[in-house]
Amino acid sequence: MSEVLIQMEGIDKQFPGVQALKDCRFELLSGEVHALMGENGAGKSTLMKVLTGVYQRDAGMMTFHGDELIVPNAKAAQDKGIAIIHQELNLAPDLTVAQNIFIGREPKSLGIFLKEKELHRKVKRLFERLHLDLDPNELVANLPVAKQQLVEIAKALSYDSEVLIMDEPTAALSDTEIDELFVIIRQLRSSGVGIVYISHRMDELKRITDRVTVMRDGCYIGTVATKDVTNDQIISMMVGREIYDTSKPARHTGAAEPVLEVSGLNRKGVLKDVSFRLHKGEILGFAGLIGAGRTEVARAIFGADMFDSGEITVKGRKLKPRQPHDAVKAGIGYLSEDRKRFGCIVDMDVKMNVAAASMGRFTNPVGWVRRKRIAEAADGIVKMLKVKTPHIDQEVKFLSGGNQQKIVIGKWLTRDCDILIFDEPTRGIDVGAKSEIYKLLNELAASGKSIIMISSELPEVLRMSHRVVVMCEGRITGELSQEEATQERIMHLATLRV
């Protein structure tokens, strides 16, 4: 009943210094959700980009419905009915939601004149079909990452394609939106669409996928039916070794002195009377739904956004951050949730990105850059976080998504801050590296650093935090100790609206 939609055979792809794909295979049936798994840098995104004409393969065969598939560019794939949601957000921020969704397919008359009304009708119909509550006229620049992701999803779905590829669609979403997305995926599956699903969230595998193909180091490892294997078996196929599970962090006494005190932080329409304390050596989890205002708290403390009133005290001294520089001087580091826009400088190489937040340490008094020291530091980070890069002179834009994220973490580790704010630190990071990062956070806390961890993944918050602050609609709705914190309690507080 289900037919073979896509067949890829013997695919090779070489980048300068990197063999990204070696003799890779992949098969997609109609009406299946097929997971593509592998560590960061395994080649998942590259394989899908070869399929959709973003990259051209060096060798191999591709067929679609049994006929040879020729895709010289992205448009060719689209026209054939193969749509992709890329891992990195690909929207034009200065255009509206509606304009972004139908870019390249604008309804027009006489070949050049835009028919705005018809565009709006189409978008409205699409949103109704998907039960999406987005304002089509809002500029994409004004949307938070999660909503941008929803726009991307809507855009891909609007093509009515036979093949839909989703490269980490849920990385920026919280549970409610993921549930909604899965409803849509199931609908598509039953109507015969073939779906490729890339994700690092293991719990999603059993919920939504039918088969799993695993890749490692650019090679094909195997394809299995999801119901026949355990998650651990898949993980060991991915990494070729066992992953140890991090223990919960040692209990925090809570008696240590507070290093960061925030009281009565207000920003009109965004934050309401936010107060909390962060102690030395503590990991403070921030939970909440998307749009709860967690990132906004972080950005206010870091001086990236202005706030209307409130007080921030760092180690007993008042901090009035007017720009991130002030916060960094006070010993605060902030790892942004939006790595492409605020996290790393993608056109610069690995070593300069690692050094970017600590140039003072890497220059001598006259301003001469100490290249050797930078190289040493970068080498250290690459080893510690197992960053997959041919060398530290590689430009960051050529790294896989997860490895870019590691570079941003490395940048703040290099800076050696006393207070670290990690906003969605493990977004897009594979299971192996995730547990490395958890271990690292535990070690940092044990050595006396204080950490705020914002995360939409509840299991992660529960596992890592000494204490959990829950936010809803810009307010703090509750605080839970390690013992009190459960999934249910957090969800209750996260939806506690006034």
Partner 1 sequence: MTIQNDTGAVQTGGKRAVPIIKPGAMQQVLAFASLVILVLVFSFSSPNFFQFTNIVGILLSTAVIGVLALGSTFVIITGGIDLSVGTVMTLSAIMTGVFITYWDLPVPLGIVGGIMTGAVCGLLSGTIISKMKIPPFIATLAMMMIAKGLALVISGAKPIYFKEETGYSKLALDSAIGKLIPGFDIPNGVLIFFGAAIIGGIILSKTIVGRYNFALGSNEEATRLSGINVNYWKIVIYTITGTFTGLAGVLMASRLNSAHPSLGSGYELEAIAAVVLGGTSLSGGKGTIVGTVIGALIMSVLTNGLRILSVPQEWQTVVVGIVIVLAVYADILRRRKK
Positions touching partner 1 (CB under 8 A) are: 54, 73-75, 78-79, 86, 89-95, 99, 103-104, 106, 108, 111-114, 130-133, 144, 146-147, 150, 153, 176-177, 180-181, 184, 268-271, 289-293, 296, 306, 472-474, 495, 497
- Residue 243 token pair: 């992953």
Taking the C-alpha atoms of residue 420 and residue 446, their distance in angstroms, rounded to an integer, is 14
Interface map 382-401 toward Mg ion (x if CB under 5 A): ------------------xx
Strand partners, 110: none
- Residue 209 token pair: 């996928």
Q: Select the binding partner of residue 38 from partner 1, ligand ATP, Mg ion, none (C-beta < 5 to 8 A, by kind).
A: ligand ATP
Q: Select the binding partner of residue 46 from ligand ATP, partner 1, Mg ion, none (C-beta < 5 to 8 A, by kind).
A: ligand ATP
Cβ-contact 53, 77 below 8 angstroms: yes
Min dist CB 93 to partner 1, Å, is 6
- Closer by beta carbon to partner 1, 37 or else 181: 181
Q: Give residue number: closest CB to ligand ATP.
A: 402
- Asked if 293 interacts with Mg ion (CB under 5 A), we say no
Q: What is the three-state SS of the chain? A: CCCEEEEEEEEEEEECCEEEEEEEEEEEECCCEEEEECCCCCCHHHHHHHHCCCCCCCEEEEEECCEECCCCCHHHHHHHCEEEECCCCCCCCCCEHHHHHCCCCCCEECCCEECHHHHHHHHHHHHHHHCCCCCCCCEHHHCCHHHHHHHHHHHHHCCCCCEEEEECCCCCCCHHHHHHHHHHHHHHHHCCCEEEEECCCHHHHHHHCCEEEEEECCEEEEEEEHHHCCHHHHHHHHHCCCCCCCCCCCCCCCCCCEEEEEEEEEECCCEEEEEEEEECCCEEEEEECCCCCHHHHHHHHCCCCCCCEEEEEECCEECCCCCHHHHHHCCEEEECCCHHHHHCCCCCEHHHHHHHHHHHHHECCCCCECHHHHHHHHHHHHHHCCCCCCCCCCEHHHCCHHHHHHHHHHHHHHHCCCEEEEECCCCCCCHHHHHHHHHHHHHHHHCCCEEEEECCCHHHHHHHCCEEEEEECCEEEEEEECCCCCHHHHHHHHCCCC
Min dist CB 44 to ligand ATP, Å, is 4
Interface map 43-72 toward ligand ATP (x if CB under 6 A): xxxx--------------------------
- Asked if 45 interacts with Mg ion (CB under 5 A), we say yes
Min dist CB 403 to partner 1, Å, is 19
- Closer by beta carbon to partner 1, 194 or else 474: 474
Interface map 409-438 toward ligand ATP (x if CB under 6 A): -------------------x-x--------
- Closer by beta carbon to ligand ATP, 251 or else 391: 391
- Asked if 403 interacts with ligand ATP (CB under 6 A), we say yes
- Closer by beta carbon to partner 1, 76 or else 202: 76
- Asked if 398 interacts with ligand ATP (CB under 6 A), we say yes
- Closer by beta carbon to ligand ATP, 211 or else 388: 388
Distances (CA, A) of 371 to 222, 412, 413: 43, 19, 18
Min dist CB 41 to Mg ion, Å, is 8
Min dist CB 18 to ligand ATP, Å, is 5
- Residue 11 token pair: 């695919």
- Closer by beta carbon to Mg ion, 120 or else 340: 340
How many angstroms from the chain centroid is the CA of residue 348? 20
- Give the residue carrying structure tokens 């801050």: 417
- Asked if 353 interacts with ligand ATP (CB under 6 A), we say no
Options 211, 339, 388, 449; binder of ligand ATP; rule CB under 6 A = 388
Q: Select the binding partner of residue 20 from partner 1, ligand ATP, Mg ion, none (C-beta < 5 to 8 A, by kind).
A: ligand ATP
Options 274, 399, 419, 480; binder of ligand ATP; rule CB under 6 A = 399
Q: Select the binding partner of residue 360 from partner 1, Mg ion, ligand ATP, none (C-beta < 5 to 8 A, by kind).
A: none
Min dist CB 363 to ligand ATP, Å, is 29
Min dist CB 381 to partner 1, Å, is 27
Options 40, 78, 414, 465; binder of ligand ATP; rule CB under 6 A = 40
Contacting range for ligand ATP; rule: CB under 6 A; set: 41-49, 240-248, 452-460, 483-491: 41-49
User: What does the binding site for ligand ATP look like in residue numbers (CB under 6 A)?
Assistant: 15, 18, 20, 38, 40-46, 87, 388, 398-403, 428, 430
